[in-house]
Amino acid sequence: MLLARLADGASFRFWRFASDFDTVAANHGAAAGERKIEQTDLSLLQVNGRVTVPPVFYADYAAFYCTDFDAATGTREGWIRIYKYSTQMYQLELVYEDKVVASETSAEYARYSLVKLGADGFLFKAAGAPTIYRYAIDTAYVGPGGAAW
Amino acid sequence: MPADAARCAAVTGAALATKAACQAVITAAADAVSGTTKACTYTYAASAGTLAGATGTANKANFIMQQVSEDPASYDLATIPKIYGWMAEKGDSGTGSPSFFRLKWTLAGETLQAEDITVVPAKYRIAMKPELVSFGRNYVAIVSPIDCAATNPVGSLAGQRQTASAPYRWSRPDTRRDVANPSIRYFKLGTRP
C-alpha cells in the first residue's frame, strides 16, 4: 500500500500494489477490481483524529495511532485504529478502534512504539507507560482490559 | 585483545539467561573500546514491572521499539522485519552506555525476548533518542553529537562548543550549548559495532 498524506494531516490518497504488480500492471484493464492498482474514485482515506505515529501495515491491515480531543471531558485521548482493505469496497475501512491512552499528555511521539508481528498482529506502547498492548489480526482484537502484558 | 575487551569476552555461557548476567555483559562491553555483541536469552516476564529469573524492576516505561524498514525490492508477507528495542537514551537506570536489543516475539506466552544485545560504544556520546536512530536490514544509523573524528575525552570535547561540564543538547530554544558538529554513526548489525 502506498499512502500519500495530504496537507490536512488526516487524509491519505492511497494506491494498492499487489504482489503480482507486474502482471496486473501489464494488463490493468482486465484485472479484478480488488487487484487494480488504483480506483480513482475511492482512493481517498480519511483517518479519524490526528495521526501522530507512523502507521504500520500488514497484509490487508493498517494500524494507526491517533489522538483526539474529547470536548465533553476536555481531555486528549490516544486511539489505536485498525483499518482493513475491503475487497468489496476497494477501500480501507475502520474495523476496530481502542482508546488505549485515556489522557494523552505526551508530545514525544517519536518515543511511541508501533510495530507489526505479522499474523500475530501489532504491538503498541506509549512513551512513559510500562504496558505493551497487542492487537491481533482478527475480529477478536485484544487491548486494555484484555490481554495487556 | 585489549584487557577490557578480554574482560567482556570472558562473560559467556548459560549464565546469560539472567538479568544480572546480561547486565554484566552490558557493563563489560561498555568498557571495551571496540564494543562487542553477546547473545542473551534473558526474557521479560509477561506481568508488568517484574523480571523473569531475577529480582528487580525493569523500567519498561522507558522502553522503545523500532522496526526495520521493509525491503521494497523483495517484499514478502511472511518475512516480518526485525524489531529492535532499547531503553530511552541511556539505559534502564538512565545512566551508563546505551545498548539495544534485537527482540524475538513468541505468541505462546506473549513474550518479547532479547536474543541479542549490542552496546553502543560510550566514546561517541550517543543518546539513543528514537528520532535520531534508524534501523535498516544490515545497518543501524545513529546520530552522534560529536563530529566524525572525535571520541569521548573526559573533561573536554575538542573542537566542539559543548563541554563535559555543560552537557550537550540538541536544538532547543536555549541553543547556547547546541550541537555544532553532529555525525551519523553506522553500525553493521550482527557484527561488532
Name the residue among B77, B88, B107 with its Cβ closest to that of A120: B107
Name the residue among B61, B75, B112 with its Cβ closest to that of A129: B61
Q: Which of A56, A60, A117 to mutate to test the interface with B (most CBs of B within 10 A)?
A: A117
pLDDT recorded at residue A77: 92
User: Where exactly are the structural domains of chain B?
Assistant: 3-188
- Cell numbers for B62: 522507558
Residue A85 near residue A16, CB atoms below 8 Å:
yes
Nearest to B36 by CA among B8, B1, B4: B8
| Successive 10-residue mean pLDDT values, chain A, 149 residues | 74 74 83 73 77 88 90 90 80 83 86 91 88 76 41
Total residue length of chain A:
149
Residue A77 near residue A101, CB atoms below 8 Å:
yes
User: Where exactly are the structural domains of chain A?
Assistant: 2-135
Alpha-carbon span B118 to B38, nearest angstrom? 7
The strand ranges marked E within chain A are 2-5, 11-15, 44-46, 50-58, 61-70, 75-86, 91-101, 113-116, 122-125, 132-135
Name the residue among A58, A117, A125 with its Cβ closest to that of B63: A125
Instruction: Please give the residue of chain A at the shortest CA–CA distance from B105.
Output: A117
pLDDT by 10s per residue, chain B, length 193:
555 556 556 665 545 666 666 666 666 655 554 445 555 555 543 333 333 333 344 567 778 899 998 877 777 888 889 999 887 755 444 455 577 888 888 888 788 888 888 877 766 767 778 888 899 888 888 887 776 766 554 433 333 444 444 444 444 433 334 455 678 888 888 654 4
pLDDT recorded at residue A46: 81
pLDDT recorded at residue B50: 37
Q: What are phi and psi of A85, to 5 degrees?
A: -75, 120
pLDDT recorded at residue B40: 57
CB contact under 8 A, A130 and B48: yes
pLDDT recorded at residue B77: 82
| pTM metric for this prediction | 0.69
Alpha-carbon span A15 to A19, nearest angstrom? 13
Instruction: Please give the residue of chain B at the shortest CA–CA distance from A59.
Output: B77
Residue B151 near residue B159, CB atoms below 8 Å:
no
**In Å, how far from its chain's centre is CA A90?**
16
